[in-house]
Structure 1
Amino acid sequence: MSPWNYPFQLTIAPLIGAIAAGNCSIIKPSEYATNTSEIIDKLISKNFDEAYISVIKGGREANKSLLAEKFDYIFFTGSVQVGKVVMEAASKHLTPVTLELGGKSPCIVDETANIDLASKRIVWGKFLNAGQTCVAPDYLMVHSSVKEKLINKMKDHITEFYGLSPCSNKEYPKIINDKHYNRLRTLLNEENIVFGGQFNDKTNQISPTILDNVTIDSAVMKDEIFGPILPVIEFENINEVVSRVNKKPKPLALYYFSNDIKRQKHIINNISYGGGCINDTIVHLATPHMPFGGVGDSGIGGYHGKASFDTFSHKKSILKKSNLVDIPLRYPPYKNKLKLIKKILR
């Protein structure tokens, strides 16, 4: 069951793992990405027998009907709310699941970071696909001594990447539908906007936006943003960061920009999160050499590379015993055998 934000990739990538492990599969693409769903349907039906791989299209009713069936495994990518529905339905058949969810993934910048490079990589990771990426930096925590410099550098890189009018840039994506566009519009609090904030109701575009003077209790900090809005929160001490992040549900990703190796280890060892990067964003999910997935509220299980094969496989343990030797020591009656068994176990 795949989402709408990367509708082709996040359908085909887990399918490859399922095929590699020898499974028959049903694909349920997102109803929001209708054109991509049509393409997937045509590709699959043209190249595979439907008894091997088939595509089911539709909305909530199709999801509900599918989840009522008994499967050997369910792989879901999407929101936390729908993930709970999937897991509840799977539990009725004791069906194992992989849940690739999301959450508020923090990006942390301390005073030792390379600010120019950090700002460039943060802007790229946050505003890729107009922020509609499950591992996008959701909010930025920056040391007070470098906050102004970082924000100014991010402004420069946004203009460099998307121009002075991003909503007129043909390369800049739109928000998937009216529902999500209107949700994001409500988060554009003019008092906090220090850059961007423009929008186009006709094209459902919102320009890359930076919000400053945001608090943990602000509306933009309550749920995953999943759009081109970046709230900035300043801090004074790295322990303060650890405490704040740990008070929230475990994030899918965490990004830390720092040249202090001890602090890097401190963040890794003291915050639980799915995966992430030191001095970069997003790119950890591009490697096939390690699994990608969440923890706690951000997901269950992982995939990518061989981990995809492992996800859709069962490791069946088998011991094949010789018939040539059969030691009588293990059979009752034990009587005086116990002393000998204890000696052997020592």
Structure 2
Amino acid sequence: MTTTQPKIPFVFQIALLPLLAGCSALGFSTYPVAHVMTDDTKAVLAQTPTNLDVPRELAKEVQVAHYLQPGDELLIETVDSDADFRLPADQRVLADGTIDLARFGRVVVASKTLEQAEAAIQRLISDTTHESTRVNVRLIQPIHRYYVIGEVNSPGAYALTGHETVLDAIMEAGGLTARASACDLLLARPTEPTSCRVTLPVCYRSITQLGDTTTNYHLKPGDRIFVSRQSLCEELTGSLLGGKTCDRCCKRQVACCDPRVAPTDLPNFTAPMVESIVPIDPPAAVTPGSETRGSETRGSGARGSGARGSEAPASLPQEAAEPPQRPADGPTPIPGRLDGELDFGMQLR
């Protein structure tokens, strides 16, 4: 006796083919994909308070002092025009934290501010030539990076110059792909392994269509922008629910009666409490074996062409010349290259 197998309707056969093949015309896959927001991430986002007081578009904030690190590009010049030597100008901080100063040897500049690096180079030159020479160190290209990951056309790491927002980063990465989720976008800020996590939701359509700056955050070094892939539910209901505001975004947008109230003429950056830049003068020239001359130099307050008067000390004591250590709770806010100030080197007095 033969039994007949029930026939599957042709429509269902066509629907099952993409699942058996592992892909779908809708863009989803039965296999795991990388650009999916995890449950842990969604749980952290759900715990993130709304209306956080963080720097964003129209309320950006300058960064604290930059501590040199491997990969930073520097320009080193002598300030005194009558110096009888020249230093290698273009320098990249090596992996061991040093730079090469030709006949003066190598000096460690990693974990130092620009002012501290200038002091270290000046001491090295003074120990070799027994001359007081002022040096200017400029940061040409910092190693700061931000990352755009997920459903963008050009994911990768991009150089951070200090003004970028989330929208700048997404546009730099070529914009969203057709499979990008409209709601599952976030900015993840790096934190210590055992600390809490900083994940900030991004309302992309509010930023682009309404000019809402609430989630257009000002980027910091190391920020990660993640764009998730559309879920199956989003793809199936996109034509019906695609125009609705995301749950994490503000749903009470109102139009301004007068467009001129937009704060387009306000300062874009706000400076935190910072200390003034205090240039470090080079050690006074001391001829070997001539203590009298060194005492006279220190007593007179003369420092060659860089003397500013008798009220200023002629040379730095050895303990004062040592670069200060970074505090345990973070670097002291000293203006750096991303702090909104122009760098005039040692001419700042």
Compute the TM-score of the two structures, normalised by the length of structure 1: 0.25
Q: Could you say which structure has the larger radius of gyration? A: 2
Compute the TM-score of the two structures, normalised by the length of structure 2: 0.25
Flag the structure with more relative contact order, 1 or 2, with Cα contacts below 8 A and sequence separation at least 6.
2
Structure having the larger proportion of residues in helix = 1
